[in-house]
Amino acid sequence: MFLFRLLLKNAFRYRLRALLTMIGLIVAISAFGLLRTIVDAWYAGVDGTSSTRLVTRSSISLTFPLPLNYAERIRAVDGVSGISWANWFGGIYITERNFFAQFAVDPPTYLALYPEFVLSDQEKAEFFRDRKGCVVGRKLARKFGWKVGDTIALRGTIYPGTWSFTIRGIYQGKDAKTDEQQMFIHWKLLAETIRARMGAQADHVGVYVVGIHNPDDAPAVSQRIDALFKNSLAETMTETEKAFQLGFVSMSEAILMAVQAVSFIIILIIMAVMANTMTMTARERLAEYATLKALGFPPAFVVKLLFGESLLIALIGGLIGMAVTFPLAKAFVNAAGTLFPIFNVSALTISLQLLASLVVGTVAAAWPAWKMSRIDIVQGLRHVA
């Protein structure tokens, strides 16, 4: 207890310097946590994938659709437990800023493959019944103030015109990794409209979602599916849902690496600032440390004082920075709109922030502690004057 009181008194002997150093730590640790959370949010879609789902798409590009008649052939492949399909809709709600994922799906088969989208039996029945109905995620409904029975008007981009849908259900995620900012409409409604305008082009889908019995069979089942359509006019590429999502993430891999690099550079900068503070502190107290050694205190005691003071400042600043991360993340995600469906400060991020604080405090005190432990008593006492 005596040592702690001594450390506390020493840490705040020069209050302005200690306060400015702690402010720097708070900014650095909270910024580090926010940047790490942004990276985690980018990978959130990957973390929420299932090992029992495959995605089959055109081998050329996602922009090339696949024939609807592929469904029955894929269903017959050994190891397949279910199949559904989806088209990206891409409508605009009021303004382009209100971006969120919209998929035209076959409701019964699609929801059967996604048990993480939790709907009541009544909501499912209403959605299946109403061709112009839709279901939306809980976070999306909360953001725009939607409720069951409301009508949503979307301005089509890929599919021109104004489209109106009635909310028949609001799904909840099975766990925190489930994206609750999506909207699902009927693929048949989309197909009927396309058929009226463009004829045979209606009988195509964007991707197939394939359920499998055993996750270990994913490579074999993928090869069997792709072999069915080899050398056809619409060859396929089948991969796990995780690999499919990682394909989107890889498009922005350079940005993610830059964000991660900046997060660590921030910590290095505050480490240098902290080290400078501790060096100044040690130099100013040279005579004090020399006196302690003259009184018989071992060099280890001087080392304890410097490391303890540095760690105390770093921990106080770090803990406040960790606390600030939560309101900072909330403000960021509100400003970002629906860009990040899942944006949570993870336990790993908090652990990394705490570790960063300890590393900063330890490294900053290492050099001055080593120097003060080797101080010559006579040379040190000359600084009394």
Rounded Cα distance, 299 and 373, in Å: 5
Q: What is the pLDDT of residues 97-147, one digit of tens each?
A: 888 999 999 999 999 999 999 999 999 999 999 999 999 999 999 999 999
From 234, 267, 295, the end of a domain falls on 234
Domain boundary among 234, 269, 287: 234
Is residue 28 included in any domain, yes or no?
A: yes
Query: Cβ distance 89 to 106 under 8 Å?
Result: no
80 and 226 in a single domain? The answer is yes
Distance from C-alpha of 367 to C-alpha of 385, rounded to nearest angstrom: 25
Domain co-membership, 273 together with 338: yes
Q: Residues 211-246: pLDDT tens digits?
A: 999 999 999 999 999 999 998 889 999 999 988 888
Mean pLDDT of 379-384: 57
223 within a domain of the structure (yes/no): yes
Is residue 300 domain-shared with residue 227, that is, in the same domain? no
Q: Is the pLDDT of residue 209 over 70?
A: yes
The tens digit of pLDDT for each residue in 348-381 reads 999 999 999 988 888 887 877 777 666 666 565 5
pLDDT, residue 326, reads 94
Number of domains observed in the structure of the chain = 2
Q: What are phi and psi of 242, to 5 degrees?
A: -65, -45
Higher-pLDDT residue of 355, 302: 355
Average pLDDT over residues 53-71: 91
List 92's β-bridge partners, or say none: 155
Residue 226 falls within a domain, yes or no? yes
Q: How far apart are CA 291 and CA 278, in angstroms?
A: 19
Task: Name the DSSP letter for residue 92.
Answer: B
Q: How confident is the model at residue 315 (pLDDT cuts 50, 70, 90)?
A: confident
| pLDDT category of residue 87 using cuts at 50, 70 and 90 | very high
pLDDT digits (tens, 9 = 90+) for 251-281: 667 777 888 888 889 888 888 888 877 777 7
Domain membership flag for residue 195: yes
pLDDT at 385: 45
Q: How many helices (H) and strands (E) does the chain have?
A: 15, 12
SS (H, E, C) 248-316: HHHCCHHHHHHHHHHHHHHHHHHHHHHHHHHHHHHHHCHHHHHHHHHCCCCHHHHHHHHHHHHHHHHHH
Q: For residues 256 and 226, state if they share a domain.
A: no
Residues 157 and 20 in one domain: no
pLDDT tens digits along 192-206: 888 877 655 678 899
Among 175, 200, 234, which residue terminates a domain? 234
Longest CA–CA span in the chain (Å) reads 97
DSSP secondary structure string for all residues of 148-215: TT-EEEEE-SSS-SEEEEEEEEEEEESSTTS---EEEEEHHHHHHHHHHHHGGGGSEESEEEEEES-G
Which residue range forms the structural domain that includes residue 224?
Answer: 60-234
Summarize the confidence of residues 34-57 as an average pLDDT: 85
> Distance (Å, rounded) from C-alpha 317 to C-alpha 17?
13
Q: Is-contact 41 342, C-beta < 8 A?
A: yes
Same domain? 17 vs 84: no
Same domain, 114 and 154: yes
Q: Is residue 55 part of a domain?
A: no
Q: What element of type H or E holds 109?
A: helix 107-113
The pLDDT value given to residue 19: 85
Determine, yes or no, domain membership for 241.
Answer: no
The count of C-alpha atoms lying within 13 angstroms of the C-alpha of 260, restricted to the half-sphere facing its C-beta, is 12
The sign one gets for the Cα dihedral 122, 128, 131, 135 is positive
Residues 333 and 219 in one domain: no
Average pLDDT over every residue of 34-48: 81
SS3 percent helix, strand, coil of the chain, rounded to 5, is: 60, 15, 25
Give bridge partners of residue 288 from the DSSP assignment: none
Within this chain, do residues 89 and 229 fall inside the same structural domain, yes or no? yes
Looking at the fold, whether 76 and 25 belong to one and the same domain comes out as no
- Tell whether 169 and 315 lie within a shared domain: no
Tell me the pTM.
0.76
Say yes or no: 184 and 65 in one domain: yes
Report if residue 240 sits inside a domain: no
Average pLDDT score, the chain: 85
Q: For the ranges 33-42, 173-182, 199-208, 283-292, which has the lowest average pLDDT?
A: 283-292
Find the mean pLDDT for residues 308-325: 88
SS3 375: coil
Does residue 229 belong to any structural domain of this protein? yes
